[in-house]
Structure 1
């Protein structure tokens, strides 16, 4: 049954993302122009993340910070309210979660899914997949998602260990119906103005 659910999941990912990309292409274009006109640097931010089975891939997002921000100040830790590395348009994109929109291309490619554990950077909280505790490696048994169970429950103010435990709950409870519930929860969270 799990295999069937995984097959349906990949099919839905591709179809929904393809349709979504076509519908949101004007929004992607407008945001791209705004980023280019308001700050120096590329429109997109690409970064190595850990994906399915711990394999690295390059995630794509709208750039919301100054170039090389992850090597300045507090590094991967971001203070959403007053971090000077976040651009003006970037603050809006983060608050509405629109910075995540280009990840539709990661989903189409098959590196990501609409729903799954969020992909961590390759060097945090552990240096590479092999250094994760054995219990935590289970979170990498599913493709990483644009959103996930963590984003509609405990969110980003929880510790990494707590987030990974929720990710493992998702992996264990996975079904297409569960994914649909998480997607609706994500829409509700975004409409309430809570950044994911």
Structure 2
């Protein structure tokens, strides 16, 4: 990652710029054709703690250097009610803003991967039990990136979530795809991530030119 691009992330000061970075419907891969907007919102540390793993707290995220974030999530209106094995039902892109450039990398290892590994075999909310976590080899991005595939069991059966995190300066991009059954979507989630990476760079360059 170029120093200039990394430095430009320090000109991002609030979630409105992050909102411009997360993908819109027309930027989704063809594999997600028919997906509709499910929800979007700012993700402050209080919200993250409320929806995080058991034991998560606002203080933990603050100590990790996290400032805020923004999420845009899409779903398949046709696939969700059918709940057919192998169908992709949810996809999302998220951008987190941190205090400095070292924080996103630390977050990947000490928050993201650690929390998933520590909660295997435990109930993680909404009656879902995390039954397996597999770390993925991800090397398609400019800077550091990590990925996991998590499998959860619940009242409605098995769901798999493929998640990729990647750094750009003090920003952390996240993409995930939720699939019915025990399946992996590394290629699709990577495609989402690369499109998100391009969107982030585009917004950073626009911010730089306007400063």
Q: TM-score, normalised by structure 2?
A: 0.30
Of Structure 1 and Structure 2, the greater strand share is in 2
Of Structure 1 and Structure 2, the greater helix share is in 1
